[in-house]
Amino acid sequence: ALALVGPRDLAGRHVVVSAGGTREPLDPVRFLGNRSSGRQGVALARTALARGAQVTLVAANMSVPAPPGVDVVQVETAAELRDAVRTAAKVADVVVMAAAVADYRPATIVASKIKKRADGSAPPLELVQTTDILAELARDRPRPGQLVVGFAAETGDDEGSVLDHGRAKAARKGADLLVVNPVGDGKGFGAETNEVVVLDGTGELVARFAGSKDDVAHAVWDAVLAASEHGVI
Ligand code: CTP
Ligand code: CA
CA of 173 to the centre of ligand 1 (A): 9
- C-beta of 99 in contact with ligand 1 (< 6 A): yes
E strands in 21-124: 24-27, 30-32, 54-60, 71-75, 94-97, 104-106
Q: What is the ipTM of this complex?
A: 0.99
Ligand 1 site-directed mutation target among 83, 85, 105, 169, most atoms within 8 Å of CB: 169
103 CA distance to ligand 2 middle (Å): 5
Q: What is this structure's pTM?
A: 0.95
Q: What residues are annotated to the active site?
A: 34
- CA–centroid distance, residue 169 to ligand 1 (Å): 9
Q: Quick one: average pLDDT of 64-71?
A: 98
> Per-residue pLDDT tens for 52-62?
999 999 999 99
User: Is the CB of 78 inside a 6 Å radius of any atom of ligand 1?
Assistant: yes
Q: What is the pLDDT of residues 199-227, one digit of tens each?
A: 999 999 999 999 999 999 999 999 999 99
- Say yes or no: CB of residue 134 within 6 Å of ligand 1: yes
Average pLDDT over residues 175-180: 97
